Amino acid sequence: MRFTRKHTVSAIPFALSALLAAAACGGGNGNQQQARAPESMPPETTSTPTQPTQPMPGAPESMPPSNPPPTAPTATAPSTSEQMGQPGAPAPSATSPGTQPQPGGATGSAEMMGPLTDEQIAAVTDAIDNGELQQAQLAQQKAKSQEVKRFATQMQKAHMDMKRTDAALYRRLKITPQESMLSTQLQNDMKQMMDSLKDKTGSDFDKEYMDNQVKAHTAALDVIDNRLLPNAKDPQIKADLMTMRTHVAGHLKEAQRVQATLQSGSDQMQPGGAQPTPAPTQKPGGGY
């Protein structure tokens, strides 16, 4: 078929129209794809919940990100209650820290619990003897029980002998007794015991005196064992203290026996005030 110039010119508008229509269709499809893009693609700002990652085989477990890694505990000094439960820990004290109970209920300071010289030891033994002599002399005057009077006479003789022996030793060693807080405290304790006896009479005096004697000799043994013997320097003073300890231990045993006799007698009082038959007098075991 043969095209003429006329046919070519008339076909140009038709071709242009077809190209424009194709372009319009292509542009419409592109706009539709852009409009539908939010529906097919998730927004960038939206986060989806993450699934916990499984640890790799053989790898150590990691701590959750929200929990910080544990820190090593700081070493602190154990408290007093914790120390009490440990072997070798000091036992709790009823007194304030750094103090220990002294004879007669006194609480010792650091100076009272410190070391003693031989001169101070001499003053302590003298205080013990003087206190016993004062109480013994009063008991011989006011005691009602013959058993108590006999014990008081024995105490006076024994402590007078010890006082003389000690004085001779100190003169030989050229030692002059020197007061300390311990000797002063013992003197105060003896004075309190004397004050407690002054207003007592009869059986009340007998009981108070023997109670005091048990306390005083128990305290004297404690002082000799824990304060005098460990601090004595001169061998002769140590030997004298050992002799004194033997006598004081015998006095304590006898005082406890007389105390028990008085307590037993008061328990066996007959109705109407009748006294029980007195037990045979038992002689001391000697060694005083």
Domain count, the chain: 1
pLDDT score for 18: 56
Average pLDDT along the chain:
72
What pTM does this model have?
0.56
pLDDT score for 76: 46
Residue 52, in any domain of the structure: no
Residue 126, in any domain of the structure: yes
pLDDT score for 159: 96
Residue 125, in any domain of the structure: yes
pLDDT score for 17: 58
pLDDT score for 286: 38
Task: Find the radius of gyration of the CA atoms of the chain.
Answer: 53
pLDDT score for 10: 52
Residue 237, in any domain of the structure: yes
Residue 93, in any domain of the structure: no
Residue 176, in any domain of the structure: yes
pLDDT score for 114: 82
| Boundaries of domain holding 122 | 118-265
Residue 64, in any domain of the structure: no
pLDDT in tens, 10-57: 555 555 555 555 555 454 444 444 434 444 444 444 444 444 445 454
Residue 5, in any domain of the structure: no
pLDDT score for 112: 59
pLDDT score for 104: 43
One-letter amino acid for residue 61 of the chain: E
Instruction: State the CATH number of the domain containing residue 128.
Output: 1.20.1260.10
pLDDT in tens, 129-140: 999 999 999 999
The low-confidence residues of the chain, meaning pLDDT below 50, are 1, 3-4, 8-9, 25, 27-53, 55, 57-66, 68, 73-110, 267-288
Q: How many CB atoms lie within 10 A of CB 90?
A: 9
